[in-house]
Amino acid sequence: MNDIETQNIELQLLLQAIYLKYGYDFRNYSKASLKRRINHRLIKEGLENLSAMQHKLLYDVHFFDRLLLDMSINVTEMFRDPNFYLALRKYVIPKLKQHSFLKIWHAGCSSGEEAYSMAIILKEEGLYDNTQIYATDMNEVILKQAKEGIFKINKLKQYTANYQKSGGLESFSNYYVAHYDHVVMDKSLKKNILFSDHNLAIDGVFGEMNLILCRNVLIYFNSELQNRVLELFFDSLGKDSFLCLGSKESIYFSKTSNAFKEVVKEEKIYRKLY
């Protein structure tokens, strides 16, 4: 048995230990992505190999908290991919206006930037007061940050540019209060957002939604887990509701692909047919 085969066994045992000890299931995540994230923590902690890491995480919950932050998907920003939000305003919002009450799910919301982006769009389109946004993630530390709605002020230049390119109707500064090196999102944006714990790998249907956004999350899953999550979204959407994925993701080749119609091909926006 060569070194690579041995390392793969160590990785499988590590992921199994995480699942059995803490209930987080990374066993069907993309192995290439996991290896990068785990090796980063291995070096930071000065550990010799994955077997040493497995022993440490089994007996040191604080170490696991650090590892979990590495393994979670926390790459996000306000109005990320502005063209997507332009398409959302043009093709999805007019359909959502036909409903008296809306339920929207941001699955894998990370630190909340995209959920707040959605809240701003809904407010500008006159829909926010009749909407409940569910923003979920498996990482409680990241969820706490999302609930606080506090972001570093050095990100504001990019966020403002994204907002303007996405078809923003106001001044972006209307939606936050600046405090030295950070900004706090306006309280009016938080009132209809419920941040809660949900693990796409193991948890069930979240409720019947009008719109689900899960952008740039599936790319970290293997095909088995991608299918599982897409079936979950299918079960969580009503007829004529919408599903939005990331630019490198697709429902095609999944078991549920026939249930969806492409609305905006370039932006991976789909409508459930039945």
Q: At which of 30, 48, 71 does a domain end?
A: 71
Q: Report residue 211 CA to chain centroid gap.
A: 14
Residue 125 reports pLDDT greater than 80: yes
27 and 117 both lie in a single domain: no
Closest C-alpha among 181, 246, 253, 189 to residue 213: 246
Instruction: State residue 71's pLDDT score.
Output: 85
154 and 186 both lie in a single domain: yes
Average pLDDT over residues 88-117: 97
158 and 218 both lie in a single domain: yes
Instruction: State residue 1's pLDDT score.
Output: 65
61 and 122 both lie in a single domain: no
Residue 218 reports pLDDT greater than 80: yes
Q: What are the phi and psi torsion angles at 210 (to 5°)?
A: -90, -25
Residue 157 reports pLDDT greater than 70: yes
| Residue 2 pLDDT grade (very low, low, confident, very high; cuts 50, 70, 90) | confident
- 160 assigned to some structural domain: yes
Rounded percentage of the chain residues whose pLDDT exceeds 70: 100
Chain segment 8-53, per-residue pLDDT in tens:
899 999 999 999 999 899 999 988 889 999 999 999 999 999 999 9
Domain, as residue range, for 131: 82-272
Q: At which of 49, 71, 93 does a domain end?
A: 71
Q: At which of 44, 71, 98 does a domain end?
A: 71
Average pLDDT over residues 226-255: 95
Give the CA angle between residues 222, 220, 62 to the nearest 5°: 115
| Cα-based distances in Å from 44 to 58, 71, 82, 214 | 18, 14, 35, 30
Q: Report residue 252 CA to chain centroid gap.
A: 20
Residue 69 reports pLDDT greater than 80: yes
55 and 101 both lie in a single domain: no
Sign of CA dihedral 198, 202, 208, 212: positive
**pTM confidence score:** 0.89
Instruction: State residue 30's pLDDT score.
Output: 86
